[in-house]
Amino acid sequence: MATTVAPGSHMAAVKPCMSSSQRTYMSCTAKFGTNSEVGVWRRLKSSSHISATRSFSQSLKSGPVKSVKVVTRAMSGAAENTPLPGLPIDLRGKRAFIAGVADDHGYGWAISKALAAAGAEILVGTWVPALNIFESSLRRGKFDESRILPDGSLMEITKVYPLDAVFDSPEDVPEDIKTNKRYLGSSNWTVKEVVESVKQDFGSIDILVHSLANGPEVTKPLLETSRYGYLAAISASSYSYVSLLKHFAPIMNPGGASLSLTYIASERIIPGYGGGMSSAKAALESDTRVLAFEAGRKHNIRVNTISAGPLRSRAAKAIGFIDMMIDYSSENAPLQKELSAEEVGNAAAFLASPLASAITGTVLYVDNGLNAMGVGVDSPVFENLDIPKAVK
């Protein structure tokens, strides 16, 4: 389990209310109102100049999505200088590398879509054993419905790189991995090699997203976790972020942004989330603060992490109790609704944008407010209290 004003709410212009002649001050108002997910996507749409000229509704009438395949590219030149109204998320001309995208169900995919909707060019790193299936699904159009952007066009992934972030360089790869049939046919997939390939292909990036984690013994209680399992969780889930930023930072443009995904188990007890994964997430959050200082001073890069609520992704289902965690959140969080991947994607787009230019070293909670709760209000202990329920 592993916002800006623009995606989360509508902001009316706040007009100055001071008379230049009388220098008297009058009350000023700014109206904020929550909107539907459709509204969120529309605002993301307004932040990028998409090449599509046909609406999504028109594309549905004219035939399958494939027949109107239009892609969104990072745009540069005159379009970058065109002023945009309000406070949009504008990532035109920016290039993002998202590590850990292997299907169209997880937060990594949602973040990729949000960044693309804001105008960024998308590169992804996919775990080597999952690479063939992922690329095949892309080619065959299995992800086309999931790739639809606000204007009806399809998110384009400019390039997919094989990546195993557990290994920093070829010298670190043990022989049994080199000869493993799941790795045969792929090359240059260690962190150092991937960064070198990106540099050769594109020169630089602006946004780095770490959306990967693995704990081979995640279903075991911490007391039953082996040293191997514990260190493997730390290596794949937290040090991999240090390694990615260490190698990518030299080719990131100044003012760039780096993001990772964490979970509330880093600071609260979540029974069942074992195998050292809670420790790995705690390390990830601590590293976020230190990296924010070091990368900020040395490379002018912002470093933040999003503590996302539970999602029914394929990766989360491996833990075995994801449905219970979602039900628990829906019953006990201040906002009684199921968290969507798009909401996390929108928050990531905000953190990657100039709107968050002074935010770094931060854990941003995107979990319907569950992190703020001290008790589970669905407990029988509170059955006699008049606790309000969400209006359906």
Mean pLDDT (whole number) for 282-311: 97
Query: Which tokens hold the place of 305?
Result: 């992490």
pLDDT in tens, 113-145: 999 999 999 999 999 999 999 999 999 999 999
Whether 281 is catalytic is: yes
Quote the CA–CA distance of 222 and 276 in Å, as a whole number: 6
C-alpha separations of 56 from 51, 151, 152 in Å: 13, 6, 4
* Cα–Cα distance, 158 to 72 (Å, whole number): 10
Q: Does the pLDDT of residue 238 top 90, yes or no?
A: yes
Say yes or no to pLDDT of 50 above 80.
no
| pLDDT of amino acid 360 | 98
d(CA 245, CA 262): 16
- Residue 388: the pLDDT is 85
Which residue among the candidates 281, 307, 313, 329 is catalytic per the annotation? 281
CA 100, 144, 37, 344: dihedral to nearest 10 degrees?
A: 0
pLDDT-based confidence at residue 80 (cuts at 50, 70, 90): low
Mean pLDDT across the stretch 100-121?
A: 96
Spatial CA neighbour of 89 closest among 119, 121, 50: 119
Determine contact, residues 155/50, Cβ cutoff 8 Å. Answer: no
Q: Is the pLDDT of residue 383 over 80?
A: yes
Q: How far is CA 10 from CA 35, 44, 59, 241, 364, in A?
A: 7, 12, 28, 34, 20
**Residue with token string 């990072």:** 74
Tokens at 173, concatenated: 């790869």
Query: Cα–chain-centroid distance for residue 298?
Result: 24
More confident site: 240 or 59 = 240
Tell me the pLDDT band of 221, cut-offs 50, 70 and 90: very high
The predicted structure's pLDDT at residue 77: 46
**Percentage of the chain lying above the pLDDT 70 cut:** 76
pLDDT at position 317, please? 62
Give strand pairing partners of 122.
Answer: 96, 157
> What residue ranges in 148-268 does DSSP mark as E strands?
154-155, 157-163, 205-210, 252-262
Residue 256: pLDDT over 70:
yes
Nearest-Å Rg of the Cα atoms of the chain is: 22
Q: pLDDT-derived band of residue 85, with 50, 70 and 90 as boundaries?
A: low
Among 179-188, 249-258, 274-283, 379-388, the range scoring the smallest mean pLDDT is 379-388
What angle separates helix 227-234 from helix 277-299, to the nearest 10 degrees? 30
> Which of the two residues, 23 and 364, has the higher pLDDT score?
364
Q: Which helix (H) or strand (E) holds 286?
A: helix 277-299
Tokens of 163: 């990546």
Single-letter amino acid code for the residue at 53 = T
Q: Domains (ranges, CATH) in the chain?
A: 95-367 (3.40.50.720)
What's residue 13's pLDDT?
A: 38
Separation of alpha carbons 331 and 323, rounded Å: 12
pLDDT one-digit tens code per residue, 301-341: 999 999 999 887 666 666 667 788 888 999 999 999 999 99
Cα 139 from Cα 133, distance rounded (Å): 10
pLDDT at 86: 76
Alpha-carbon distance 278 to 284, whole Å? 10
Instruction: Out of 211, 238, 278, 279, pick the active-site residue.
Output: 238
CA distances from 44 to 3, 150, 337 (A): 12, 8, 22
pLDDT tens track for 193-218: 999 999 999 999 999 999 999 999 99
Task: Report pTM.
Answer: 0.78
Predicted pLDDT of residue 385: 87
Q: Which of 316, 310, 386 is nearest to 341 (CA)?
A: 310
| Dihedral sign (CA 134, 139, 141, 147) | positive
- Decide: helix, strand or coil at residue 182: coil
pLDDT in tens, 2-18: 433 333 333 333 333 34
pLDDT band at 386 (very low <50, low <70, confident <90, very high): confident
Q: What is the mean pLDDT of the chain?
A: 83
Structure tokens at 68: 């109107």
